[in-house]
Structure 1
Amino acid sequence: MSDRVAAVDCGTNSIRLLIADLVDGRLVEVDRRMTIVRLGQGVDATGAFAPEALERVFAATEEFAAVLQSEDVRRIRFVATSAARDVSNRDEFLAGIEQRLGVRPEIISGDEEAALSFRGATSALDLPAPYLVADIGGGSTELVLGDRTGVRAAQSLDIGSVRLTERHVTTDPTSPAELTAITKDVDALLDTTTVPLHETRALIAVAGTATTVAAVALNLPQYDRAAIHHAILSTDQLREATTWLTTSTRAARSAVPSIHPGRVDVIGAGAVILQRLADRLPLNTLTISEHDILDGVALSLTGH
């Protein structure tokens, strides 16, 4: 009898589902899907979830519930991250999810988010240690340094693709002044990190910002998980992709099949975060992983 589990990760920009079987101590993917819901729409300014954002996330959750009903899932864990931590109407969000999915969402701390991302990203990689896992989300960025024995240092920073875009971007394409403001915010928070970045021997970038930047850097004709997972980018490739993403028009980005429509508006700011982080490391390459917090949440349900 298989031990089938499901993990749901609801972030600032997207909600994602992973259904997996535990086989010989490792996860075997059954289904993985993502919907852009922009739950964090306006949160940086208002401190509350917008009604239309809640409608989007509830609709996506209903779709996930239908998928889960068709599979013999034994355990489900739903985690919510940056956008849900401080909003004034989070009880409405929690109750709406529980009503539709039958499980109470957990609003996890930045430290737990970092640890779960680290576990998911490194479970099937063999890289020189210590390695730094960077999970760039819509509302926050998690930095986790560690090795096979576990996490050495971790921190959640309040910089994300949606947060920075809403805060600074009003023109199309992004103006040099707006790009400077984004970069200044990123650098200011990276300056404060307690994670010893100089110890990093390998950078593993996870989640939608990193995988989308990789798809652009690799000039993929369409989004291809197999080509992106464990791809190695040079810092020159990263810089070239970031330059294009931050100077192109919305129409130009929309015309690239490998960029999800829900990321077109915010991918430039996310790329800046990854670029500025990579610039601080003693490395000339980074590894992209399609495995991230979702895999970490699923692994947490297996007891392994």
Structure 2
Amino acid sequence: MKKVAALDLGTNTFLCLIADGDENGIRKVHRDLVQVVRLGQGVGQTGEFHPDALARARKCLTEFKKEIDTESVDQVLAMATSAARDARNGQELFRIGEELGIPIEIIPGEDEARITYQGATAGAKNPQLTSLVVDVGGGSTELIVGKASDILFGESLDIGGVRLTEKFISAQPVKEDDRRRLEAYIQEQLKTVLPELEKHNIDQIIAVAGTPTSLVAIEVGGFDEAKVDGYFLKKDRLHHWVEEFARTTVEEKKTKYQLGGRADIIFAGASILLAVVEALGLDGMMVSTKGVRYGVALEMLRSR
């Protein structure tokens, strides 16, 4: 048995999973931590990490390190994705990791699909179904088609909750013109992969990350992993939430739906999910609380 700390440093959210297990998988989860950091703040406009974002990253990673030290883990690995690839001053993030003793790597494009897919499908009830894993991040959305342990197709699109909000949304409630431009851009991006997705006769969509889990938490009356993980979110409910988030202020989304640091980007994130479901003609999506951090943990547990 080995104890590992697997970190997923996303454009919007940082997550840290501390678990033990072996080459057969994760046996026990000791900690599953999450903080909205908004690392990707302004990267789309300036091409660099904002000093405030780096300060938030340092504070979050310092707190995660305390938990990691308390748990006496055998191995630590942090994976950074979209924002760290895009930022000119990305080395600043790596320097913070070095100072704290948290090794940070950027997931290579060819590994990202496999790591995300194996994390999202960890413990899947019916692995024989052909699944499309959708991971809506802050900067990008990963689309991975797989069956059992085989990956059939993977692509990363430059549509994410933070990126689209900064690019298109000038006010909330969302202006009709802003909404039209955002939706047209999502469609334009999806069109580039739709022919490939349609080739695979997808049985189900598995959605991971904060956008789908936040939507389900609202549906079930608060975040309870046992209720959220495996929940089937119907297309008409997705449509309902896109409409609701379009007509409410950021403050209303925070107070009414407890969306915290995700309140300003939830409209864009939900719009991406709805567009994927509609493009494939399915009646909804399965939501998983797992994802990249589980995939990273499995990578460490399976390596010598």
| TM-score for the superposition, normalised by structure 1 | 0.94
1:89 aligns with 2:93: no
**C-alpha distance in structure 1 between counterparts of 2:21 and 2:50, whole Å:** 38
* 2:117 equivalent in structure 1: 118
1:223 aligns with 2:223: yes
1:107-146 residue pairs with structure 2 within 5 A?
A: 107-127=106-126, 129-146=129-146
**C-alpha distance in structure 1 between counterparts of 2:275 and 2:257, whole Å:** 26
1:25 aligns with 2:24: yes
1:1-304 residue pairs with structure 2 within 5 A?
A: 2-22=1-21, 25-27=24-26, 28-100=28-100, 102-127=101-126, 129-193=129-193, 196-198=196-198, 199-216=201-218, 218=219, 220-259=220-259, 261-303=260-302
Q: Which amino acid aligns with 2:209?
A: A
**C-alpha distance in structure 1 between counterparts of 2:153 and 2:228, whole Å:** 27
Cα offset, 1:23, TM superposition: 5.8
Cα offset, 1:24, TM superposition: 8.1
Cα offset, 1:162, TM superposition: 0.2
Q: Which amino acid aligns with 1:122?
A: T
Cα offset, 1:16, TM superposition: 0.8
CA contact (8 A) 1:201 1:282 kept: no
**C-alpha distance in structure 1 between counterparts of 2:193 and 2:23, whole Å:** 38
CA contact (8 A) 1:111 1:156 kept: no
Percent identity of equivalent pairs: 35
**C-alpha distance in structure 2 between counterparts of 1:62 and 1:112, whole Å:** 27
CA contact (8 A) 1:223 1:257 kept: no
Q: Which amino acid aligns with 1:285?
A: G
Q: Secondary structure at the match of 2:86?
A: coil
Cα pair distance change 1:110/1:160, threshold 3 Å: farther
CA contact (8 A) 1:242 1:268 kept: yes
CA contact (8 A) 2:233 2:286 kept: yes
Q: Which amino acid aligns with 2:48?
A: A
CA contact (8 A) 2:172 2:246 kept: no
Cα offset, 1:249, TM superposition: 1.7
Cα offset, 1:118, TM superposition: 0.5
Q: Secondary structure at the match of 2:87?
A: coil
**C-alpha distance in structure 1 between counterparts of 2:119 and 2:285, whole Å:** 17
Q: Which amino acid aligns with 2:236?
A: D
Cα offset, 1:215, TM superposition: 2.4
Cα pair distance change 1:112/1:256, threshold 3 Å: farther
Q: Which amino acid aligns with 2:207?
A: A
CA contact (8 A) 1:155 1:195 kept: no
Per-residue CA distance 1:130-172 (angstroms, 9 max, x = gap): 1100000000000000111311100000000000001111112
Cα pair distance change 1:114/1:195, threshold 3 Å: farther
Cα offset, 1:263, TM superposition: 0.1
Cα offset, 1:240, TM superposition: 1.2
**C-alpha distance in structure 2 between counterparts of 1:177 and 1:57, whole Å:** 34
Aligned residues: 299
**C-alpha distance in structure 2 between counterparts of 1:59 and 1:265, whole Å:** 22
Question: Which one is further off, 275-284 or 75-84?
Answer: 275-284
Per-residue CA distance 1:94-151 (angstroms, 9 max, x = gap): 1111111x13310113442222111011121133521100000000000000111311
Q: Secondary structure at the match of 2:280?
A: coil
Q: Give 5+ residue unaligned stretches, structure 2.
A: none
Q: Which amino acid aligns with 2:53?
A: A
Per-residue CA distance 1:70-99 (angstroms, 9 max, x = gap): 112001111000000021111121111111
Q: Give 5+ residue unaligned stretches, structure 1.
A: none
**C-alpha distance in structure 1 between counterparts of 2:103 and 2:72, whole Å:** 19
CA contact (8 A) 1:223 1:258 kept: no
Q: Secondary structure at the match of 1:31?
A: strand
Cα offset, 1:257, TM superposition: 4.4
Question: Which one is further off, 280-289 or 65-74?
Answer: 280-289
